[in-house]
Amino acid sequence: MSGSFSVVLPIVILVGGAFGMTSITMFLRLKNKAAAVLTILILLSALVALIYVVDRAPDPDPSASAFYGVLSPDGILFKVDYLGIYLISVAILVGIFVSVYSGESLSRDHRFVLYYPLILLTISGLLGLFFSTDLFNIFLWVELTTVSSSALIAFRYHHEAAVKAGFKYLIMSSLGGMIMMLGVYFTYRSTGSLALSVISDHTDLFTRIGAGCFLVGFWIKAGVFPLHTWVPDVYSQAPSAISGLLAGVMSKSMLFLAPAVCLRLGMSSSELGLFYILFACMNMLFGSIRLLKQDNIRRFLAYSSIAHTGYLMFALGIGFLYELEAAITASLFLFVSGAVMKSLAFLAAGIYEYYLHSSDVEDLKGVYRRMSLPAVTGSIALAGLAGIPILAGFNGKWLVFSAVLEISEPMALLGLALFLLSSVISLGGYLPMLAIQFQPSNGDRSDNAGTPVRDRISIWMALPTAGLVALVVLLGVIPSPWLRLIDWFMDWVSFL
């Protein structure tokens, strides 16, 4: 073993933390809230370790020093990936909010002992994916995220639909995994190596087929149309906080991971860009049209997520096809804004579900009088997703438009027109969803004096939603610090 152990420290903290906290929770018989706090501490430690990794990298070329493992063509090696660090930092941030929220939402379920470790394993899987330098390890980490995510999705196992959703996700992801394995086969057959650094110097038709296989595999996990079929079921049946984590961070991260692998396997930047743009258009239109007629708020958010996957793919596609740094910057901003807005929306939907025992849109009529917090925070999330100024989503939109209009290429402009069309169509869904919460309802619960009864929202649920609202507003009003951070990361992103 050589290199710096600090490189794998965040992974060790997350994986070790997952197993450690399971033992501690069981041994000390910790309550749910204590387990949530423990998870938050582990996530914070991992975040600090990530910052430490960034801080310790003295060389602008991370391949020179920032690694840990066996330095041989067949050895297992982890390398610092700055794109991964950026994405995982956001994942950890969302994970912290989700854990705080789960401190209340899981209080009715005694299986929290498994819940929090699964969250940690899912995030660690993502980190392992970005830090791995060979195809086999990438495959293994993909499987880890699949298994842990499937377990989280089917967590409410007493609901048949939840089990089905978890099973569906498992089948779809396994299919993706098998296709990736096929990619591994083609690549190994041609180059005799699984190390990305070796393969990238010997690319040929077979490695390019392998790249295609990995692209399909990652796209299944990202929920790209027409491989999206698991998305509505999973996001509507998983615990709401988990849906937020999956929709906001985990699935979108796959869109960044695919280029990092495919470009090294010989796929050209322009090919990748073209694929991304074409499928982005389908995602945008499909997602925005389907969200119009949803009568379940979580299915509505799932289709919204498909549309947003399209927006993100479009920005990335423009970046790759025209080698435009501004578009990649836009995609990184869209990622963080989407993560906070989507997780906020799912958390607000989860609060409704927790107190109303329903996620039907019809039951949200006039809910503002009963629960003003989720109504306001959920509305801010919806307004942000709709791209209303001065919220995070609007700045993302502005950055994408700026990038496209800077190059003014016909294909980019056509994509932009579809982007605009999609955002107008989706307004037809966002606005009624936003309004229904504030409309008068005949079924207000009242006390003896006729005053409407208001539900007291637990502080464990109120705090993370308030924190996410602050982030949605801050990213909208003061985006400069985050843009500077993205700019700093852009210098280090290897596939650029």
Partner 1 sequence: MKITELLLTGIILLPVSGIILMLLWRKASKTQAAIVAIISEGFALVIPIILLAELRTGQPVSFSVPWIPMLGISFSLELNWLSLVFLLTEVLVTLAAMVYSLGEKRGEKASNFYYSLLLLFSLGMSGTTLAEDVFLFYVFWELMLIASVLLILIWGSGKNRSRVALKYFIITHIGSLMVLVCLITLQVQTGTASLTALAQRAGSLPPGMQQFLILFFLIGFCVKMAIFPLHIWLPDAHTVAPMPVTIVLAAAMLAMGAYGILRFPIALFPVQSMQPFVIWMMVAGVISEIYGALMALAEKHVKRIIAYSSVSQMGYILFGLGSLTAQGIMGGVMHVVYHAIVKTLLFMVVGIVLHAAREKYIQDLGGMAKLLPVTTICAAIGVLGISAMPPLGIFTSEWMIFTGGFRSGYPVFLTVISLIGSLFTVFYALRFFGKIFLGELKPSDSTGNPNKALLVPTIAVTVFLLVEGLAPAPLLTWVMRGLSTVFGGAY
If the CB atoms of residues 61 and 360 are measured against partner 1, the closer one turns out to be: 360
* Shortest Å distance, C-beta 454 to partner 1: 12
- Candidates 387, 401, 416, 408; CA nearest to 330 is 401
If the CB atoms of residues 331 and 395 are measured against partner 1, the closer one turns out to be: 395
Distances (CA, A) of 305 to 231, 267, 287, 384: 9, 27, 7, 13
- Residue 132 phi/psi, 5-degree rounding, is -70, 150
DSSP 450: S
If the CB atoms of residues 68 and 430 are measured against partner 1, the closer one turns out to be: 430
* Shortest Å distance, C-beta 83 to partner 1: 19
> In the set 268, 401, 474, 494, which binds partner 1 (CB under 8 A)?
401
Binding status of residue 483 toward partner 1 by CB under 8 A: yes
If the CB atoms of residues 88 and 336 are measured against partner 1, the closer one turns out to be: 336
408: amino acid identity, one letter: S
* Shortest Å distance, C-beta 388 to partner 1: 6
* Shortest Å distance, C-beta 87 to partner 1: 21
If the CB atoms of residues 226 and 389 are measured against partner 1, the closer one turns out to be: 389
Q: How buried is 444 (Cβ within 10 angstroms: 0-12 exposed, 13-18 middle, 19+ buried)?
A: middle
Determine the interface stretch with partner 1 among 82-90, 146-154, 336-344, 480-488 (rule: CB under 8 A).
480-488
- Candidates 183, 26, 29; CA nearest to 114 is 26
- Residue 11 and residue 6: Cα distance in Å, rounded? 10
Which residues have C-beta within 8 Å of that of residue 253, sequence separation ≥ 6? 87, 91, 126, 335
Residues 415-454: x where in contact with partner 1 by CB under 8 A, - otherwise, as a string: -x---x--xx--xx--xx--xx-xx---------------
Instruction: Return the ∠ at Cα 174 (arms to 171 and 176), rounded to 5°.
Output: 115
If the CB atoms of residues 56 and 484 are measured against partner 1, the closer one turns out to be: 484
If the CB atoms of residues 75 and 432 are measured against partner 1, the closer one turns out to be: 432
* Shortest Å distance, C-beta 404 to partner 1: 9
494: amino acid identity, one letter: S
Q: At what angle do helices 410-436 and 269-290 cross, to 10 degrees?
A: 30
Binding status of residue 70 toward partner 1 by CB under 8 A: no
* Shortest Å distance, C-beta 408 to partner 1: 8
* Shortest Å distance, C-beta 470 to partner 1: 15
> In the set 109, 406, 444, 455, which binds partner 1 (CB under 8 A)?
406
CB atoms within 10 A of CB 450: 7
Binding status of residue 24 toward partner 1 by CB under 8 A: no
Binding residues for partner 1, rule CB under 8 A, total: 28
Give buried/exposed letters for 391-419 (b at 16+ CB in 10 A, else e): bbbbbbbebbeebbeebeeebbeebbebb
If the CB atoms of residues 252 and 397 are measured against partner 1, the closer one turns out to be: 397
* Shortest Å distance, C-beta 114 to partner 1: 42
* Shortest Å distance, C-beta 397 to partner 1: 8
Determine the interface stretch with partner 1 among 123-131, 218-226, 382-390, 448-456 (rule: CB under 8 A).
382-390
- Residue 323 phi/psi, 5-degree rounding, is 45, 55
- Candidates 63, 57, 80; CA nearest to 11 is 80
> In the set 103, 177, 479, 492, which binds partner 1 (CB under 8 A)?
479
> In the set 73, 75, 226, 389, which binds partner 1 (CB under 8 A)?
389
* Shortest Å distance, C-beta 423 to partner 1: 7
Place of tokens 């990736």: 180
If the CB atoms of residues 192 and 389 are measured against partner 1, the closer one turns out to be: 389
Q: How buried is 61 (Cβ within 10 angstroms: 0-12 exposed, 13-18 middle, 19+ buried)?
A: exposed
Q: Are 265 and 211 in contact (CB under 8 A)?
A: yes
Binding status of residue 358 toward partner 1 by CB under 8 A: no
* Shortest Å distance, C-beta 420 to partner 1: 5
- Candidates 165, 167, 152; CA nearest to 109 is 152
DSSP 479: -
* Shortest Å distance, C-beta 398 to partner 1: 7
- Residue 338 and residue 332: Cα distance in Å, rounded? 10
Binding status of residue 175 toward partner 1 by CB under 8 A: no
Binding status of residue 487 toward partner 1 by CB under 8 A: yes
Determine the interface stretch with partner 1 among 3-11, 135-143, 355-363, 400-408 (rule: CB under 8 A).
400-408
Task: Please provide the size of the chain in residues.
Answer: 496
Two tokens at 17?
A: 């933390």
Binding status of residue 405 toward partner 1 by CB under 8 A: yes
Q: Would you tell me which residues interact with partner 1 (CB under 8 A)?
A: 383, 388-390, 395, 398-399, 401-402, 405-406, 416, 420, 423-424, 427-428, 431-432, 435-436, 438-439, 479-480, 483-484, 487
